[in-house]
Structure 1
């Protein structure tokens, strides 16, 4: 949002507080439309799982669409668990008994989704591994391929990681010392500033030391050192992703066919109920994989089409993510201990 005296004279003196309240309400609406707000992490966890079941597109759909879909399910789960007031006098409102039945269906769906996600978490796999089953020979082949590829990427990124090591250590020590000044929850903003400041200072020091150590070719070093450091992080991202896939595939082999088959049948039942809630109750599109894949335009991080999915893997600018929740971890974060 951009305001100027020419386009928004109502915000100038004499002050009209009604205009300010209207502007504040508009800003609140825009911010909240892209925010997941719930009284419990459990509801957010269930809504994210329902969103992935409904539209398992990952980064093929826009980030905005993904957030709005998850938020739609979240609002449904919140409303179903919220205490109901007296029936409205509106004649078009459904009978209280019907509303109660719908709420119970949604609440029960949330419980079943939680149990399903708990089982996925105990196995250490994602819903996508259940949705798209693989033959065991293919799993073994991919395990070998991911193991080799992760080792190759880790090996080629080691030289750059040695340059990053002093930066990581400096930042870690600085943040560790700063955390002693107060509660962690009260220092999040300052911690981010500390990481930025000490990371930048130590990074510049490494860059200058590298040029001094190679003074005859300092001009070349000035370009190569940042490039090597950037590429090492880029390769490290792919190495972590490959190892994460390796771990998930290995767990699939250990789980066994009967358990996976039972899990697939369980997922099919949940998927039908999620689609019924999405289409009949929440008014979401009936063909999400077609609708959301085609809606929207170009967006940073979005993958459109099979060719882009393959080509962006080799991009040096940023890693091609498969899921908007993906981070630089060896596991997928789906559990929030505060609720347990």
Structure 2
């Protein structure tokens, strides 16, 4: 009999489903039908790059009808504190796990009791969430997975070796944040087909088990998790791969977030294969020379794309502005007038609601500013989204209930009006920032001048031919992405079909229809990442 769902877990799921939909512009969920039903033992595993936000993302994206409760795990140092975050973790039935790095050298770190509790919960039919990387980190790659999950499956199969009907599922999940800590960026959550284990079908995992079988299962998990997200040895490769994807499927291509991630990942894997590898001095065959030539071509393309992106960043313009021949100055000025007029109108509409949002924004900025001082980028940036979510939730509730109390005796009306106004303000503000961003981009085109733009156009034209040759001839991507992605992929969230639907969805109050999945609520385009040696 699976555990009952704690009331606090239901409350947390409800609250943070709302908060995550506000913080992130679009959350696309793929493979929700793969989630095992309530009552079937299940271990949920995912990559871990965004601290507590990763757990909240899984809690809110797994359909409650499929799975009513997921037992979470968290580092033991987050328990027992007089903070909202600590209460949040403990009240949701989370199990503490002790990590060696959190304790003094030589101090005993024993998780035996914790593992026993998790195994008992699984035997009752619960779902347990684990992050096999072992820790959250702000890094472009997925860390080598620990063998703990595979050993747990081995232990539970061994305990139930005489039960012919016992089975346990391993549900691997890939979570991809476009910009994990930025307001109104996007998230892709992909649930892969579950791996099902029984004592009969997997006798190699029964005690006494060879460690090679444990390592093999861990490798399968790693392959499935990394197949749905970016896994790069450097931020530079992510940056170059996104540029190649934008050149292959230009701005305005109506593709889902999942399609976009897979296209970027396809280029990323190609550039990873083109990384220089130190080899032996043995005699090379003709095939070796062919592979070496292809590797050299990939390396040169990567370097040329990096130089082109550096030049775009220096000029402050996007690749999409170079894709077409330079616009006449009068055309640019006319478009600037339209963009700034639209931005002013939307900002004017947003002003009353921005008064309500101001305390929330100020609280978040102050809290994150102080938090960043506590450590280096690699040790703090994975928790920024978590801080923004928690402080945004608390300050937002204070504004909501404060405004309701201040407007007595009309509190019944303002109780419904305040959140509606704040949401509409956010939508108008998003479009206003987008219009202002376009105005600034057009202004930079005027400053750059037609001569420089023509040189950049010729440089891009040569790069485009090489990118398309790589995409079609080597990577087997569709040769007409703008047509292909309209016709394939279904009607997933974030996707529109046809010009009328595309235009009407732009003004949807539910969410902003983005032309660029790298977009966030910023006046600048995010194309750069932290230094790789951070």
TM-score, length-scaled by structure 2: 0.58
Flag the 1:87–1:324 CA change in 2: closer, same or farther, 3 A. farther
Where is the strand percentage greater, Structure 1 or Structure 2?
Answer: 2
How far is 1:313 from its partner? 1.1
Deviations 1:85-117 (A, max 9, x none): 46999xxx8522222222222211112111211
Match of 1:286, SS state, is coil
How far is 1:337 from its partner? 4.7
- Distance in 1 between residues matched to 2:278 and 2:262, nearest whole Å: 25
Check the 8 A contact 1:59/1:324 in 2, yes or no: no
- Structure 2: gaps spanning 5 or more residues: 1-34, 42-165, 168-195
- Which residue matches 1:120? 312
Flag the 1:223–1:47 CA change in 2: closer, same or farther, 3 A. same
How far is 1:182 from its partner? 4.5
- What is the root-mean-square deviation in Å for CA atoms of aligned residues? 2.8
Check the 8 A contact 1:179/1:187 in 2, yes or no: yes
Deviations 1:281-331 (A, max 9, x none): 222222222223322112222233222220111111111111111111111
- Of 454, 471, 487, the match for 1:261: 454
Question: What is the aligned length?
Answer: 338
How far is 1:267 from its partner? 1.2
Flag the 1:22–1:307 CA change in 2: closer, same or farther, 3 A. farther
Flag the 1:279–1:189 CA change in 2: closer, same or farther, 3 A. closer
- Distance in 2 between residues matched to 1:36 and 1:288, nearest whole Å: 21
How far is 1:147 from its partner? 0.5
- Structure 1: gaps spanning 5 or more residues: none
TM-score, length-scaled by structure 1: 0.88
Check the 8 A contact 2:253/2:485 in 1, yes or no: no
- Distance in 1 between residues matched to 2:404 and 2:305, nearest whole Å: 56
Flag the 1:118–1:193 CA change in 2: closer, same or farther, 3 A. closer
- Kindly indicate whether structure 1 or structure 2 has the higher relative contact order, using CA contacts under 8 Å at least 6 residues apart: 1
How far is 1:206 from its partner? 1.6
Flag the 1:54–1:175 CA change in 2: closer, same or farther, 3 A. closer
How far is 1:264 from its partner? 1.4
Flag the 1:295–1:259 CA change in 2: closer, same or farther, 3 A. same
- Is 1:204 aligned with 2:397? yes
- Distance in 2 between residues matched to 1:88 and 1:51, nearest whole Å: 37
- Which residue matches 1:32? 226
- Which residue matches 1:106? 298
- Of 262, 274, 292, the match for 2:467: 274
Greater Cα offset, 180-189 or 47-56: 180-189
Greater Cα offset, 16-25 or 93-102: 16-25
How far is 1:248 from its partner? 0.6
- Distance in 2 between residues matched to 1:52 and 1:313, nearest whole Å: 21
Where is the helix percentage greater, Structure 1 or Structure 2?
Answer: 1
- Distance in 1 between residues matched to 2:372 and 2:480, nearest whole Å: 49
